């Protein structure tokens, strides 16, 4: 926003006519549009007649018109020290500040003009401009709280100004104050009942509040007021889905695709709406229609393949993704997606075949790992051996060696570990223990992993002692790809397996380990697990309690305690243990919390707590998904669908 630069009334006045030549020359140049020249003459006039206000006005005005807003502001500010309160100089300085986008500095000047407008400016115009500059400041601000303050000030100055109410409602939404935002927008709608921006704000407030029924009404109002607005129509359809009005949603989306048949965004929006609530078959129909009008669009083909997979149609998904490869798409990616489509229906032979092909195309160890796991699901050791052999050849690693070893009968399985000098790798020992269900091998894996952890700690302490520095970095160990944290996880998995296979022997090893490291909380947690397996309930409870006291920050301690309390039906204690685990690693504990609270009859309360957290936590997708599951299992499917629709 800019003020109108007031024409130099003083230059045209009798006072100007009596000034020396510099003012006359400034007047002539200004009227001819030679503003830089006018500014030079005005500077001379100011030096000769510093007490002449019109000379200062001419200087500031000419500089502003010549594009020198900074110089204009400086000239007006300096002149106002000599002529405080001069309306023309105040207006010129405000105009310069607005040109420089220094809105907050301009606001006090505009307020002064509102109280005492200069010649040629009505009080209404002064009031409107004082409000407008606040709106511009609000739009330019990235702080919703400051936006709200500016918008409210503008509304108080000009209550009839819709933009002020619109910005106020938007700021309230950004601050997660949806009910207040709705109230402000509804009040503004009394001034402009069909304003689509205000109607959209009402719908957004209903969506933020999770009120599916209200959203379906407000979204319908918006769609009716803006029939040519695709986003409004899509919002209405999504609102009907969230409120469970599936037939009305289908009717709305059908109308959208008919009226906006040439708009890819229409197909995209309808398909996404169905995908968000898990209506994959409906999404397939939309994507197939989209593919008909955009057959060469690889993104459409890709999404159609995914939707077919989610609709339990893996063979068709694979065919579509084959087409994607033929169109020049990423071969490994499409093979990987096809494999996942089969895996969703436990078609592990096909999944293994496609993951193997993806590894051949990409060389990515993740594809090899997925192929091995899928082949193991159907005991296809030939496929495991084939993939692992290629894996070892293309990217030699202990994990590849272990995968190959697990495809061979013992003692042959030990050969590749010796070949790759990985016989002392705890991951190899753990995989062999898992395959052969061998507690001796599991205990060996745990000892190897713990030795690496101890060596890493010693190396880190020596490095710190030499450098005098302190760091939280995890030390790297000699074994490639295995740091102290990863080695600790291997040790935990190995000890858990040993306890499950031979609790008494594992307990003896754990007691030996604890003797050398009495402050190890997670060893104490596994002691509790072993004691529980041996039926020594009181000792198990003491072991878990001691571990929690030693290391309240260790996830594994609370997780092990939670599992045991579940196994003996102590649901309150289990809930407390899993709550503590969730505070350390929420996504790893959410499923267990749902299970425990469902058993103790408090799943609804858990869902309410999570809903409250979601309203104050930005972009926590794991918590949102867990809350959807909790709501479904608590029998609150409508709320679950509404939350899914807001994803």
Q: What is the DSSP letter of 84?
A: T
CB within 8 Å of 504: residues ≥ 6 apart: 530, 534
CB 363 within 8 A of CB 336: no
Q: Which of 118-122, 409-413, 520-524, 618-622 has the lowest mean pLDDT?
A: 409-413
Decide: 130 and 107 in contact? Cβ < 8 Å: yes
Query: In this predicted structure, what is the pLDDT of residue 473?
Result: 35
* Block residue for tokens 């009596």: 18
Crossing angle for the helix pair 246-259 and 230-242, nearest 10 degrees? 160
In the predicted model, is pLDDT for residue 470 greater than 70?
A: no
**Does 2 score more than 60 pLDDT?**
no
Determine phi and psi for 476, rounding to 5 degrees: -80, 140
Q: For position 417, what pLDDT does the model report?
A: 43
Query: Can you tell me the mean pLDDT for 600-608?
Result: 91
**DSSP code string of 448-473:** HHHHHHHHHHHHHHHHHHHH-----P
DSSP bridge partners of 476: 483
Residue 598 contacts residue 578 (beta carbons within 8 Å): no
pLDDT on residue 4: 39
Read off the pLDDT of each residue in 542-568 and give the average, rounded to a whole number: 82
Give the tens place of pLDDT for each residue, 161-181: 888 888 888 888 888 898 888
Instruction: Decide: 503 and 526 in contact? Cβ < 8 Å.
Output: no
With b meaning 16 or more CB within 10 Å and e meaning fewer, what string describes 633-647? Answer: bbebeebbbbbbbbe
* Secondary-structure breakdown of the chain: helix, strand, coil percentages, each rounded to the nearest 5: 75, 0, 25
Higher pLDDT, 512 or 434: 512
pLDDT of 468 over the 80 cut: no
Q: Which residue has the higher pLDDT, 409 or 221?
A: 221
Residue linked to tokens 């070893």: 405
Given a cut of 60, is residue 467 above it in pLDDT?
no
Listed ranges 110-124, 286-300, 482-496, 517-531; the one with the highest mean pLDDT:
286-300
Residue scoring higher pLDDT (646 or 125): 125
Say whether pLDDT at 303 is over 60.
Answer: yes
pLDDT surpasses 70 at 19 = no
- Supply the pLDDT for residue 443: 85
| 618 pLDDT more than 70 | no
For residue 6, what is the DSSP state?
P
Q: pLDDT > 90: what percent of the chain?
A: 3
Is the predicted pLDDT of residue 29 greater than 50, yes or no?
yes
Q: What digits encode the pLDDT tens for the residues 231-259?
A: 888 888 888 777 778 888 888 888 888 88
């Amino acid at each position: 926003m800019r003020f109108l630069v007031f024409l130099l009334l003083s230059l045209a006045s009798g006072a100007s006519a009596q000034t020396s030549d510099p003012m006359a020359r400034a007047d002539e140049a200004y009227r001819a549009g030679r503003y830089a020249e006018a500014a030079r003459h005005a500077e001379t006039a100011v030096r000769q007649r510093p007490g002449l206000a019109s000379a200062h006005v001419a200087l500031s005005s000419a500089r502003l018109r010549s594009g020198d807003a900074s110089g204009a502001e400086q000239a007006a500010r300096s002149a106002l020290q000599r002529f405080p309160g001069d309306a023309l100089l105040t207006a010129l300085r405000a105009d310069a500040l607005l040109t420089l986008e220094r809105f907050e500095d301009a606001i006090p000047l505009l307020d002064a003009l509102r109280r005492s407008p200069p010649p040629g400016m009505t009080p209404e115009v002064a009031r409107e401009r004082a409000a407008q500059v606040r709106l511009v400041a609000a739009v330019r601000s990235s702080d919703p709280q400051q936006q709200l303050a500016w918008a409210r000030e503008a509304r108080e100055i000009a209550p009839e100004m819709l933009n002020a109410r619109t910005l106020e409602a938007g700021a309230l939404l950004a601050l997660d104050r949806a009910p207040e935002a709705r109230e402000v927008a509804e009040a503004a709608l009394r001034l402009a009942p069909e304003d689509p921006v205000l109607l959209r704000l009402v719908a957004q407030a209903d969506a933020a509040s999770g009120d599916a029924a209200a959203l379906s009404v407000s979204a319908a109002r918006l769609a009716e007021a803006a029939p040519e607005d695709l986003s409004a129509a899509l919002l209405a359809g999504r609102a009907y889905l969230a409120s469970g009005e599936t037939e009305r949603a289908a009717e709305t989306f059908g109308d959208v695709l008919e009226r906006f048949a040439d708009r890819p965004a229409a197909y995209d929006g309808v398909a996404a709406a169905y995908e968000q609530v898990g209506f994959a078959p409906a999404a397939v129909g939309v994507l197939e229609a989209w593919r008909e009008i955009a057959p060469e669009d690889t993104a459409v083909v890709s999404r159609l393949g995914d939707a077919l997979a989610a609709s339990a149609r893996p063979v068709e998904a694979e065919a579509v993704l084959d087409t994607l490869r033929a169109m020049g798409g990423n071969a490994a990616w499409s093979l990987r997606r096809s494999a996942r489509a089969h895996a969703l229906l436990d078609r592990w032979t096909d999944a293994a075949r496609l993951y193997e092909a993806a590894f051949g195309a990409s060389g990515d160890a993740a594809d090899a790992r997925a192929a091995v796991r899928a082949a193991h699901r159907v005991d296809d050791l030939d496929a495991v051996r084939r993939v692992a052999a290629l894996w070892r050849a293309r990217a030699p690693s202990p994990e590849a060696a272990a995968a190959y070893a697990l495809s061979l009968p013992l003692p042959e399985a030990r050969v590749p570990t010796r070949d790759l000098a990985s016989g002392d790798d705890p991951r190899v020992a753990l995989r062999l223990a898992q395959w052969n269900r061998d507690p001796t091998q599991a205990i060996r894996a745990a000892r190897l992993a713990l030795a690496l952890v101890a060596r890493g700690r010693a190396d880190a302490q020596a490095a710190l002692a030499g450098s005098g520095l302190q760091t939280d970095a995890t030390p790297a160990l000699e074994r490639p790809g295995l740091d102290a944290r990863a080695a600790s996880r291997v040790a935990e998995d190995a000890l858990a397996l040993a306890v499950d296979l031979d609790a008494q022997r594992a307990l003896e090893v754990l007691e030996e380990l604890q003797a050398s490291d009495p402050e190890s909380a997670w060893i104490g947690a596994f002691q509790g697990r072993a004691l529980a397996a041996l039926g020594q309930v009181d000792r198990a409870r003491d072991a878990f309690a001691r571990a929690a006291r030693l290391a309240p920050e260790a996830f594994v301690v609370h997780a092990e305690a939670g599992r045991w309390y579940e196994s003996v039906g102590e649901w309150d204690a289990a809930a407390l243990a899993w709550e503590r685990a969730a505070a350390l690693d929420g996504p790893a504990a959410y499923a267990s919390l749902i299970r425990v609270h469902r058993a103790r009859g408090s799943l609804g309360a858990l869902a309410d707590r999570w809903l409250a957290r979601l309203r104050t936590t930005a972009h926590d997708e794991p918590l949102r998904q867990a809350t959807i599951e909790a709501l479904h299992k608590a029998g609150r499917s409508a709320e679950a669908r509404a939350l899914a629709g807001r994803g």
